[in-house]
Structure 1
Amino acid sequence: MIAIRGATTIDTDTPIQIKEATVELMRELIAKNSLIPEKMVSVLFTATKDICSAYPGKYLREELGITDVPILHFQEMDVKGALGLCIRVMIHYEASAPGTSVYLRKAKSLRPDLTGSGRV
């Protein structure tokens, strides 16, 4: 089993923005890793404390049809100066080869070593 990570951000805490960002992130993770739902063991989401209008995992079920995978949500640690309005995901997946992480929008700053954004 492997764990594949990703993160994205929103500009405003609204269900529409959470939906759009989550679907965009998950579609990118699925495409880059050729993921199939039947091999997903679980999906864990965290969100910073400034996100409280919707659960990201709701949109896996409603928009992507991923209905048989356990999904949990957690609040990200509230670290002073940390990136706000951020949604993170970790997918546990049945595979042996390492996966490719995806960082979108302002979340690219979290892992510049993986996103080619120049900062390390």
Structure 2
Amino acid sequence: MIRGIRGAITVAQNDAALVLAETTKLLHAIIAANDVDAADVASVIATTTPDITAAFPAKAVRTYDGWDYVPVMCMHEMNVEGALPLCIRLMVHVETTVAQKDIQHIYLNEAVKLRPDLVK
């Protein structure tokens, strides 16, 4: 079964190195919490709020060790008034036998405000 694993993280500023580093941190946390193997990943969607323009988060995913063949696409989130700024989100589509309720979604930095019900 394909399941979606959500994750989000914020960056302190629109800086290319920071966007790549924080995306890598988020991906690593998703992998560790859910025992994800790149061979089981169907695709990854990476989004940013419109205030992030310095780098593509997909680059961090594509260059993560062993993830070079995983299809990744970037896009911007809707520009909704009052939305959390400087936020990167990942949706990792993975083949797994883990039940939906047991998937570990990851929210880091200020992004913990997005889903406090899922933050452990």
Per the normalisation by structure 1, the TM-score is: 0.92
Aligned partners of 2:87, 2:70: CA distance in 1, in Å? 22
| CA positional deviation for 1:58 | 0.3
Aligned residues of 2:38 and 2:66 also touching (Cα < 8 A): no
Structure 2 counterpart SS, 1:3: strand
Correspondence 1:92 to 2:93:
yes
Partner of 1:57: 58
Aligned partners of 1:81, 1:64: CA distance in 2, in Å? 36
Unmatched tracts of structure 2, length 5 or more? none
Aligned residues of 2:62 and 2:72 also touching (Cα < 8 A): no
The count of corresponding residues between Structure 1 and Structure 2 is 116
| CA positional deviation for 1:61 | 2.3
Structure 2 counterpart SS, 1:26: helix
Deviation beyond 6 Å, 4+ runs, structure 1: none
| CA positional deviation for 1:95 | 1.0
Partner of 1:7: 8
Per the normalisation by structure 2, the TM-score is: 0.92
Counterpart of 2:112 in structure 1: which amino acid? Answer: K
Unmatched tracts of structure 1, length 5 or more? none
| CA positional deviation for 1:111 | 0.3
| CA positional deviation for 1:21 | 0.6
Partner of 1:115: 119
Aligned residues of 1:23 and 1:64 also touching (Cα < 8 A): no
| CA positional deviation for 1:67 | 0.6
Aligned residues of 2:44 and 2:92 also touching (Cα < 8 A): yes
| Identical pairs, percent | 38
Query: RMSD of aligned C-alpha atoms?
Result: 1.0
